[in-house]
Amino acid sequence: MHTPFGSRQISRDGNELASTDALTGLGNHRRFCDRVERLIRDRADDPAPFAIGILDLDGFKPINDLFGYQAGDHILAQIAMRLRASMDSHSSVCRIGADEFAFLCPMVFSEEAVSERARTLIEILSAPYDVGERTARLSASAGCSLFYSQDETTEILLNKAETALYHAKRSGRGQVMVYTREMEEAARRVTHIEQALRRAVSVGEVEPHFQPIVNLATRRIIGFETLARWTDRDLGPMSPAVFIPIAEERGIIGPLSQLMLHKAAETASAWPQDLFLSFNLSPSQLVDQNTGRHILATLERTGLDPCRLEVEITETGLMSDPASVAKIIDDLRRHGIHVALDDFGTGQSSLGRLREFPFDKLKIDRAFVSSLLDDLPSQHIIRAILSMCEGLGIDVVAEGIEEEAQAQCLLDFGCLAGQGFLFGRAANADATLALLRSLMRRPPLVAVS
């Protein structure tokens, strides 16, 4: 069959277009993979090392929320220009995701060299960006991997770089990590925990435990905070500090939270009516407009009065999508559910959040309570928080109270409620109910004249 003249050129141009990112003009994921695969083939006879890296912008979504998507696109175009200009004659860069860029360095042969290259790129990206009459700043994290043998494919190299990036982002903003065997083992363990957790959630094996919240003056229990506890049949007891972040990252937090709330509300419905149940919402739940509906449906099924439920949210959760959070908070409060701001004082804009959102309660972070007795600044901060909340009509709970002197000091400052090991550790549903029954059996104190 006759091939029209120029069809090869058209095909080549079409392929070029299909492998080009329209916004930045850089190559896309397809072109990056093609280049890596070509380099692997070129080094088939002499597998000399080379390096790849993935740059992920830290906190790019708030930039879009603050300045708008058009400004966000403008910043991405500026990023592409900076990265392209920073590549040497051998290296290349592509945009492989919404806010992810990948670089290929054929003449970089060591972990130290690729780390240095990645840090240089991060520094270049940290300079201010023009957004109309304003400027914006960004940071980035990087994960890198090196090609050593023909056993490694493009997919393997990218997976290793993604694993290293995961560890870099967990270490904080602006970090660089190069893939190591230990990371692979850690990633394998995370996957093992994830699979076990999915099974445990599906069969209802994760249990709520309850930590008392007390009136500091009378030491009477006024409520309980729900804390998730999980013991796997193979892995043994798992710390919430381990499995909660995994649930958040792997998309399990929604079903886990619904399971916990159902069990906790069912338990709390048997408590005295004057006790409230405090329950934590994750950042991902605060961007899901079905959250309020799920909570109300759970309360209806379990028979718990919405006025006895208090949801705790962190400032990190607030910052994920303020408009979505505001709507969820309004929906919950309209049905009588109370809303508390958790870990107050550890964020960057807590005072502004108190002005923007109608909180019923604020929880002073344990970091201030732990240093209360020997740190004058902590004392001043707590006094200021209490004074401010009194003016705003917001209740206050101090977290992490472990010593009697801390409790007394907080009470002297005017803090009326607290929780911590001094008043009891988190206990399961049966132990919590037994505690409440024992307290109800105690004879009341009789004043002696």
Q: Which two tokens stand for residue 120?
A: 């240089």
Pseudo-torsion of CA 410, 416, 420, 425, nearest 10°? 150
Q: Which two tokens stand for residue 55?
A: 């740059």
- The verdict on whether 399 is a catalytic residue reads yes
Please identify which of the residues 100, 310, 399, 404 carries the catalytic annotation. Answer: 399
| DSSP calls for 136-205 | E--EEEEEEEEE-STT--HHHHHHHHHHHHHHHHHT-TT-EEE--HHHHHHHHHHHHHHHHHHHHHHHT-
Contact (CB, 8 A) for 102 and 53: yes
Three-class DSSP category at 94? strand
Q: Which two tokens stand for residue 382?
A: 């707590």
Beta-carbon neighbour count of residue 361 at 10 Å? 20
| DSSP calls for 258-325 | HHHHHHHHHHHTTS-TT-EEEEEPPGGGGG-TTHHHHHHHHHHHHT--GGGEEEEEEHHHHHH-HHHH
Bridge partners for 380 per DSSP: none
Three-class DSSP category at 104? strand
Instruction: Please name the residues in contact with 118: beta carbons below 8 A apart, sequence gap of 6 or more.
Output: 53, 55, 142, 144, 176
Three-class DSSP category at 4? coil
Name the strand (E) or helix (H) holding 339.
Answer: strand 338-344
Residues in the chain: 449
Pseudo-torsion of CA 160, 166, 168, 174, nearest 10°? 120
DSSP state of 68: -
Instruction: Please name the residues in contact with 403: beta carbons below 8 A apart, sequence gap of 6 or more.
Output: 373, 422
Three-class DSSP category at 17? helix
Q: Which two tokens stand for residue 91?
A: 């290296």
> Active-site residue numbers?
399
